[in-house]
Amino acid sequence: MSEELYDVRLTVNGVAHDVRVPARRLLSDALRHDLGLTGTHVGCEHGVCGACTVLVDGRPARSCLMFAVSAVDSSITTVEGLTRDDGTLGPVQQAFAECHGLQCGFCTPGFLTTITAGLADHPSPTEDDAREMVAGNLCRCTGYTNIVKSVLRAAALRDGRRTPSPGTEESET
Amino acid sequence: MSTRLFGESVQRVEDQRFLRGEGRYVDDVLVGTTGRDMLHAAVLRSPHAHARIVDIDVSGVLDLDGVHLVWTHDDLDGPMAEPLPLLIPHPSLTHGRTQYALAKDEVNYVGEAIAFVVADDRYVAEDAVGRIRVQYEFLPPVVGIAAARAAEHLVHDDVPGNVGARLEQENGDARAAIAAAPHTLSLDLTVERSASTPLEGRGTVARWDPDIGRLTVWTSTQTSTGVRAALAAKLGLDLGRVDVVTPDVGGGFGVKINHPWPEELLVPAAARLLGRVVKFTEDRREHFISSAHERGQVHHVEVGFDDEGRVLGLNVEFWHDHGAYTPYGLITPIVTSTQLLGPYKPGAYRVVFESLYTNTVMVTPYRGAGRPQGCFVMERTMDAIAAALGKDRTEVRAVNFIQPDEFPYDQGLIFQDGRELEYDSGDYPASLQRLKDLVGWDDFPKLREEMAREGRTVGIGLACYVEGTGVGPYEGAHVHIETSGKVKVATGLTTQGQGHATVFAQVVADVLGVPFEDVDVVTGDTRRMPYAVGTFASRSAVMSGSAVHLAALRAREKVLRIAADALEASEEDLEIVDGVVSVKGAPGSGASIDLRTVAVLSNPLRYAFDEASQAATQFSVGDPGKPPVAEDDEPGLEGRDFYSPQRSTYASGMHAVIVETDPETAEIKILKYAVVHDCGRLINPMIVEGQIQGGVAQGVGGALYERMAYDESGQLLNASFMDFLMPYVTEVPERIDIDHLETPSPLNPLGVKGAGEAGVIPSAAVFASAIEDAEGPSHPGLVITAMPISPSELFHLRQVHTEESR
Ligand code: FES
Ligand code: FES
């Protein structure tokens, strides 16, 4: 008894990848194990922690709650896609580095993608907005204080630079 | 040294890879290159809390396409078929029991491993697990401390009364002191079960290399050397053939110090048998039901005190629920029983505990490791004394403090490391003063009045603790200055987010006078440092920080010796600045040599490998009258040293919180949170504050939300992030005010004490104190004796209180 496989094309960080996967393969597993994009992490596999958050057509989505086969027609951005083409950190990443917004780093990719989309909608968040923006993601290490600071810092960096980060480019088009 | 990095909030070097999605956690290992070849494991776990295994039917499992192996206990032999090691034996642990890698004849908790399957991917492995049929004969489960104590049923047939251990310590005659005291009180206090719950669960990857007969294991652990030793013993391999590498770890908080987990042995065994890479990655439900929990304890306190609130005698009995097995010995209850004393010096103290078996997940240390319970007991007692005497809670604490001129202070007990509980340094009165200022203790009555006028109820609480940190036996470090001038540092303990690569580089850069960017730190890799203990008990900065410092000093001595020779100067006259050795006070005078050249000269060569290295070849260097490497010397520019202190260092701190409780709904809101913290000298204040913030958040979880909801049949009802309420940003204080006091430790060269666990220790105590205070005006005499406390529990407490006071 072997499983039926489907040929699907996943567009991730602007690159098309062809993979053969069974219907039940989670998008998170396809990204990590089939494409080797291990920056997306899995903390619960039931949609609660947010570590697996990626941007699907610019909107944050939990890749552990999606099948790979249902992502065929979408453009996906993972944490790897937030780094600028020249290898420097995007504004949200840079803000986390400056504000000590991470410790073990396991939850971080989910926060980075979530905030990237959040700032596209609310480019000048108040502290309350910033808290709201990350209120669906779990972090066991930082106590969130520095993550909230990072959101505000990222907004400032984004403003100053005027060049939108790769993730936001996508959601604005 | 010109630019000192010690004490600076240096940005973390490890963040660069984490932020790019380039971290390498255990589930990321070997993905891609050999990923196609990798096999995946899944485990059949007991659905019952207590049962005998009558039969296991695995027929049909191997028929499934893509399944490579299925094991039950019958398939194991030799040491693998024996129980897992009891890691920390203790003479009082008279009935220690550990589980088997795969259950033999009996299961003792929901989640215990029964069968192990390896398949092409995890999906297929789980399909295969679903095909295994087990016949059970049910046994009555023992759940909770009351059932364990009642001992109507036994967890293990050969453990009478379900008592694994009983340990008593006494300093003075506490019962006589209480009997003679002018005032006495007794209290019953309970703390619920909780768990570390790192975002990344457990995981292990193993590769057997048949060409060189070598096993490489990547595992998400807090002790790679511990896993390595256990693996070699269990698999019957020479230690030298086993390498354990700890990759990036997505949080530990204690649970990953326990080892070897069944999968940590089964995965390498399967990899060797199958000749393929095998991976096991725990899922969230598995983490809840098959790793470890902590915190569940029930305490009874008797205390005698004088009119000032001075404790004359303290007698504490408690019962510790250690779950189904005791691999980690008695560490948690021993820590409770000793660290309960905090910054105080009771006239006489007696403590006795029983460590009890239940049919639940086993208990091993979780951040704080028994201290949160001890702190809760002591601080509730202090609050009760204050209430009984009508005194301010800070005054009662102050009269009981050990004074700054009394250090070193011997509490007359034996600590968890087998050494005397002797505090090295501290200044508790100063901490209390700072805390009062920081939280606004003396102005609080005014705030309470103002709020009351708006119909709002607020309360303030405080809690103090002392934490033995940096326990032995030792850590080591190796520092290697390469001929590129770059410095490679290795220390054996592991990292789970504490920023070791940054802080240890700060220490080394200071000693060697090299740019911070040139220092590269590796942790938890037995190939680079085979002698190490592990990351627990807030010990990394103290133990490895000191070891790294000593190893760097050794390397520096050698640098100066070689440079002095080359520059024809005396060692004492030399300094190293920015990687260049020169005569002090005369930089740029020409007499200088850079570390690259010193490194080249340190290793006499026959064969040059580039232009610079020609300087070290046989016709260029050396005194023909002497051996190229002196008799007591070694080639290479390296330093290696170990740090092994006589006893722990004792960090301390105090927290205060102002809460608001809703008069109708009993909702609990945090208005202000203040921390005064003394961990000796700070290597990187930014990182220390991060540790405190994270600890406080975990503490809030433990005080107000988190519990393990077992039903009477031993099913864990909330084994998911949906139901186990870990704080989101919406649950933690918006701000934490932190003040540092720095009382250097005299016990190590850096003057540091540990900081990792501190934030979580006083939480249950401080919230109980504040909530009780908030309730005071409307429900005088309402006492909080059990934590965590949810709004519905507070609501219930109010009702009971109102009925009782009618
Ligand atoms: S892994 Fe997807 S939300 Fe937790
Ligand atoms: S940094 Fe470790 S879980 Fe957030």
CATH topology of domain B475-643: Aldehyde Oxidoreductase; domain 4 (3.30.365)
A169 found inside a domain: no
Q: Would you state the pLDDT for residue B625? A: 86
Q: Which of A82, A99, A115 is the last residue of a domain?
A: A82
Q: What span, in angstroms and rounded, lies between the C-alpha atoms of B600 and B609?
A: 11
The mean pLDDT value of chain B amounts to 94
Q: What span, in angstroms and rounded, lies between the C-alpha atoms of B532 and B475?
A: 5
Q: CA-based Rg of chain B, rounded to a whole angstrom?
A: 29
A residues 55..84 contacting B (CB < 8 A): 78-80, 82-83
Q: List C-alpha distances in Å: B270 to B40, B75, B478, B625, B760.
A: 10, 12, 33, 57, 39
| pLDDT digits 0-9 by tens, B628-657 | 888 888 999 999 999 998 888 899 999 999
Sheet arrangement for strand B183-191: B163-171, B348-356, B311-321, B297-305, B183-191, B786-787
| pLDDT digits 0-9 by tens, B556-579 | 999 999 999 888 899 999 999 999
Which three-class secondary structure state does DSSP give residue A14? coil
| pLDDT digits 0-9 by tens, B504-522 | 999 999 999 999 999 999 9
Look up the CATH number of the domain holding residue A11: 3.10.20.30
As for ligand 2, residues whose beta carbon falls within 6 Å of it are: A 102-108, 139-142; B 199, 251, 497
ipTM summary value: 0.94
CB < 8 Å to B35, chain A: 33, 36
A173 found inside a domain: no
Burial class (CB within 10 angstroms; exposed 0-12, middle 13-18, buried 19+) of B369: buried
Contact between chains at A145 and B24 (C-beta distance less than 8 A): no
Closest CA to B216 of B248, B175, B245: B245
Q: Would you state the pLDDT for residue A2? A: 72
Nearest chain A alpha carbon to B724: A48
Look up the CATH number of the domain holding residue A132: 1.10.150.120
Q: Would you state the pLDDT for residue B43? A: 98
A170 found inside a domain: no
The mean pLDDT value of chain A amounts to 91
DSSP letter, residue B574: E
Q: Would you state the pLDDT for residue B423? A: 92
Total domain count for chain A? 2
Q: Which of A82, A103, A127 is the last residue of a domain?
A: A82
To which H or E segment does residue B317 belong?
strand B311-321
CB < 8 Å to A51, chain B: 199
Widest pairwise Cα distance in chain A: 58
| pLDDT digits 0-9 by tens, B360-415 | 999 999 999 999 999 999 999 999 999 999 999 999 999 999 999 999 999 988 88
Q: Which domain holds residue A10?
A: 5-82
Residue A14 touches partner B, C-beta closer than 8 Å: no
Contact call for residues A150 and B741 (beta carbons, < 8 A):
no
Q: Would you state the pLDDT for residue B721? A: 96
B residues 14..43 contacting A (CB < 8 A): 14-16, 18-25, 27-28, 31-32, 35
Entry pTM: 0.94
Is residue A166 scored above 50 in pLDDT? no
Provide the CA A104 distance to its chain's centre, in angstroms: 17
Q: What are phi and psi of A111, to 5 degrees?
A: -70, -45
* Non-local CB neighbours of A43 within 8 Å, separated by 6+ positions: A49, A50, A51, A52, A106, A107, A110, A138, B199, B200, B250, B284, B721
Contact between chains at B12 and A97 (C-beta distance less than 8 A): yes
With a 6 Å cutoff on the Cβ, whether A130 touches ligand 1 is no
**Shared-domain flag, residues A113 and A71:** no
State in Å: Cα B14 to ligand 2 middle.
13
Q: Would you state the pLDDT for residue B415? A: 87
Closest CA to B325 of B88, B575, B605: B88
Contact between chains at B249 and A104 (C-beta distance less than 8 A): yes
A167 found inside a domain: no
Q: What span, in angstroms and rounded, lies between the C-alpha atoms of B785 and B799?
A: 16
State how far residue B68 is from chain A, nearest Cα, in angstroms.
Answer: 14
B756-767 b/e (C-beta count within 10 Å ≥ 16 → b): bbbbbbbbbbbb
Is residue B584 scored above 90 in pLDDT? no
State in Å: Cα B721 to ligand 1 middle.
10
**Shared-domain flag, residues A9 and A71:** yes
**Shared-domain flag, residues A56 and A122:** no
Tell me which of A128-137, B32-41, B115-124, B131-140 is least confident: B32-41
CB < 8 Å to B198, chain A: 104, 106, 140
Q: What span, in angstroms and rounded, lies between the C-alpha atoms of B544 and B315?
A: 37
With a 6 Å cutoff on the Cβ, whether A109 touches ligand 1 is no
Contact call for residues B530 and B642 (beta carbons, < 8 A):
no
Which amino acid appears at position B59 of this protein?
S
DSSP letter, residue B35: G
Residues B372/B377/B380/B386 CA torsion (nearest 10 deg): -130
Q: List C-alpha distances in Å: B164 to B340, B433, B705, B772.
A: 22, 43, 30, 35
**Shared-domain flag, residues A40 and A98:** no
| pLDDT digits 0-9 by tens, B144-161 | 999 999 999 999 999 999
Q: List C-alpha distances in Å: B447 to B338, B457, B665, B769.
A: 37, 10, 22, 17
Q: CA-based Rg of chain A, rounded to a whole angstrom?
A: 16
> How many CA atoms, within 13 angstroms, populate the side-chain half-sphere of residue B537?
26
Is residue A152 scored above 80 in pLDDT? yes
| B18, B121, B732 ranked by CB distance to A102: nearest | B18
State how far residue B275 is from chain A, nearest Cα, in angstroms.
Answer: 20
**Shared-domain flag, residues A123 and A60:** no
Closest CA to B244 of B476, B28, B524: B524
**Shared-domain flag, residues A98 and A154:** yes
- How many residue pairs bridge chain A and chain B with CB atoms within 8 Å of each other? 182
CB < 8 Å to B690, chain A: 100, 103, 141-143, 146
Q: Would you state the pLDDT for residue B32? A: 74
Point out the ligand nearest to the CA of residue A105. Answer: 2
A168 found inside a domain: no
CB < 8 Å to A139, chain B: 199
DSSP letter, residue B730: G
With a 6 Å cutoff on the Cβ, whether A51 touches ligand 1 is yes
| pLDDT digits 0-9 by tens, A59-117 | 999 999 999 999 998 999 999 999 999 999 999 999 999 999 999 999 999 999 999 99
With a 6 Å cutoff on the Cβ, whether A66 touches ligand 1 is no
> How many CA atoms, within 13 angstroms, populate the side-chain half-sphere of residue B125?
24
Contact between chains at B721 and A46 (C-beta distance less than 8 A): yes
Q: List C-alpha distances in Å: B619 to B602, B607, B624, B657.
A: 15, 11, 10, 72
Contact between chains at A44 and B251 (C-beta distance less than 8 A): no
Q: Would you state the pLDDT for residue B33? A: 59
State how far residue A172 is from chain B, nearest Cα, in angstroms.
Answer: 22
Q: Would you state the pLDDT for residue B3? A: 67
**Cβ neighbours of A93 (radius 10 Å):** 31
Q: What span, in angstroms and rounded, lies between the C-alpha atoms of B730 and B743?
A: 35
Contact between chains at A140 and B759 (C-beta distance less than 8 A): no
State how far residue A144 is from chain B, nearest Cα, in angstroms.
Answer: 6
Contact call for residues B595 and B579 (beta carbons, < 8 A):
yes
CB < 8 Å to B122, chain A: 29
Q: What span, in angstroms and rounded, lies between the C-alpha atoms of A13 and B16?
A: 19
| Structural tokens at position B19 | 């932020």
User: Mean per-residue pLDDT for B617-638?
Assistant: 86
Q: Would you state the pLDDT for residue A162? A: 46
State in Å: Cα B771 to ligand 1 middle.
34
**Shared-domain flag, residues A77 and A95:** no
**Shared-domain flag, residues A103 and A78:** no
The residue ranking higher by pLDDT, A172 or B181, is: B181
The beta strands (E) that lie in chain A are given as 5-12, 15-22, 53-56, 59-62, 75-77
State in Å: Cα A4 to ligand 1 middle.
26
Nearest chain B alpha carbon to A42: B200
Q: Which of A82, A108, A141 is the last residue of a domain?
A: A82
**Shared-domain flag, residues A11 and A38:** yes
A residues 115..154 contacting B (CB < 8 A): 127, 131, 134-148
**Shared-domain flag, residues A112 and A60:** no
* Non-local CB neighbours of A135 within 8 Å, separated by 6+ positions: B728, B729, B730
Closest CA to A119 of A83, A74, A81, A169: A169
Residue A100 touches partner B, C-beta closer than 8 Å: yes
Closest residue by CA, ligand 2 atom 4: A139
DSSP letter, residue B291: S
User: Mean per-residue pLDDT for B256-278?
Assistant: 97
Closest CA to B283 of A155, A45, A7: A45
- Best of A126, A140, A142, A151 to disrupt the B interface by mutation (most B CBs within 10 Å)? A140
**Shared-domain flag, residues A106 and A140:** yes
Residue B627 touches partner A, C-beta closer than 8 Å: no
The CATH number given to B15-139+196-290 is 3.90.1170.50
Q: List C-alpha distances in Å: B272 to B102, B206, B237, B278.
A: 18, 8, 11, 9
Is residue A165 scored above 50 in pLDDT? no
Contact between chains at B497 and A96 (C-beta distance less than 8 A): no
**Cβ neighbours of A171 (radius 10 Å):** 18
Q: What span, in angstroms and rounded, lies between the C-alpha atoms of B586 and B574?
A: 10
| pLDDT digits 0-9 by tens, B47-102 | 999 999 999 999 989 999 999 999 999 999 999 999 999 999 999 999 999 999 99
Residues in chain A: 173
The CATH number given to B393-471+646-805 is 3.30.365.10
B residues 739..768 contacting A (CB < 8 A): 759
**Shared-domain flag, residues A69 and A43:** yes
Contact call for residues B48 and B136 (beta carbons, < 8 A):
yes
Q: What span, in angstroms and rounded, lies between the C-alpha atoms of B12 and B343?
A: 33
B residues 204..233 contacting A (CB < 8 A): none
- Domains of chain B: which residue ranges? 15-139+196-290, 393-471+646-805, 475-643
A166 found inside a domain: no
The beta strands (E) that lie in B401-474 are given as 409-414, 420-423, 457-469
| A37, A83, A104 ranked by CB distance to B496: nearest | A104
What proportion of chain B, given as a percentage, has pLDDT over 90?
82
Q: What is the 3-state secondary structure (H, E, C) of B70-101?
A: EECHHHCCHHHHCECCCCCCCCCCCCCCCCEC
Q: How confident is the model at residue A172 (pLDDT cuts 50, 70, 90)?
A: very low
State how far residue A138 is from chain B, nearest Cα, in angstroms.
Answer: 6
Angle at B692 between CA B519 and CA B281, to 5 degrees: 70
